[in-house]
Chain A
Amino acid sequence: QQQVKQSPQSLIVQKGGISIINCAYENTAFDYFPWYQQFPGKGPALLIAIRPDVSEKKEGRFTISFNKSAKQFSLHIMDSQPGDSATYFCAASRTGNQFYFGTGTSLTVIP
């Protein structure tokens, strides 16, 4: 059973546009929601993360929006750049337990 559902599978955005990737989870015990970015030939790397006590976290052009009641969270990439082209994974975990990853979103930003 997929603990974290991610959509869309792929996304094409024009340079300067907003990229939005959505995730949903079931387990209300999860208390850590990171987003990982993976470039071809590299391992995933932490991009930004949020805990359920806040509804939004922003780091530069990247923002996580978190809706605890709906059990959903999303990644927004403002002013998307070709260098943002990568695969993005959402994840969820409970402190001290394993991570559950979404199925990934392949983002392509067209110049």
Chain B
Amino acid sequence: DTAVSQTPKYLVTQMGNDKSIKCEQNLGHDTMYWYKQDSKKFLKIMFSYNNKELIINETVPNRFSPKSPDKAHLNLHINSLELGDSAVYFCASGSFARATGELFFGEGSRLTVL
């Protein structure tokens, strides 16, 4: 069973379109994250939800809107896609207050905006 699963794995779309990426974790974690990895491999945190509540909202254009229907799911919706949005988006989960602090990442969703 995949611990953190994201769909779709690949997404190719035109500028100006709206797209969503879905994420689900079956680890029973209370915190989920979205990271953006650009072409230089830098991992930049975008959002974090703890028990469905937004706790981290980094400087991200408001075209990006996360939604957490329950603790096991965190979706990312992107409006009016721009060329600069092309990247790999990783979902991750972890236990907010747990001592080990490990993050579990999904395999990523590669978004290409043409």
Q: Which residues of A contact B (CB under 8 A)?
A: 32, 34, 36, 38, 41-46, 49, 87, 89, 93, 95-96, 98-99, 101, 103-104, 106
Residues of A within 8 A of B45 (CB): 98-99
B101 engages A103 (CB within 8 Å): no
Instruction: Pull 22 A–B residue pairs with CB atoms less than 8 Å apart, ordered by A.
Output: A32-B100, A32-B101, A36-B103, A41-B108, A43-B92, A43-B105, A43-B106, A43-B107, A43-B108, A44-B43, A46-B102, A49-B100, A93-B101, A95-B98, A95-B99, A99-B45, A99-B101, A99-B103, A104-B40, A104-B42, A104-B43, A106-B41
From residue A107, how far is it (CB to closest CB) to chain B in Å? 12
From residue B8, how far is it (CB to closest CB) to chain A in Å? 14
A96 and B42 contact, Cβ closer than 8 Å, known pairs A34-B101, A43-B105, A49-B102: no
Residues of A within 8 A of B96 (CB): 96
Complex CA gap A41/B45 in Å reads: 19
CB nearest neighbor in B for A106: B41
Number of cross-chain contacts by CB at 8 Å: 55
A43 and B97 contact, Cβ closer than 8 Å, known pairs A89-B43, A98-B45, A98-B56: no
Neighbour of A42 across the interface among B43, B98, B107, CB < 8 A: B107
Residues of A within 8 A of B43 (CB): 44, 89, 101, 104
A87 and B41 contact, Cβ closer than 8 Å, known pairs A46-B102, A98-B56, A99-B103: yes
Which one of B45, B90, B103 has the greatest number of beta carbons of chain A within 10 Å? B103
Residues of B within 8 A of A93 (CB): 101
B41 engages A42 (CB within 8 Å): no
From residue A66, how far is it (CB to closest CB) to chain B in Å? 15
Residues of A within 8 A of B90 (CB): 43-44
CB nearest neighbor in A for B55: A98
Cβ of B75 within 8 Å of any chain A Cβ, yes or no, is: no
A49 and B48 contact, Cβ closer than 8 Å, known pairs A43-B106, A43-B107: no
CB nearest neighbor in B for A104: B41
Complex CA gap A28/B29 in Å reads: 27
Complex CA gap A89/B90 in Å reads: 15
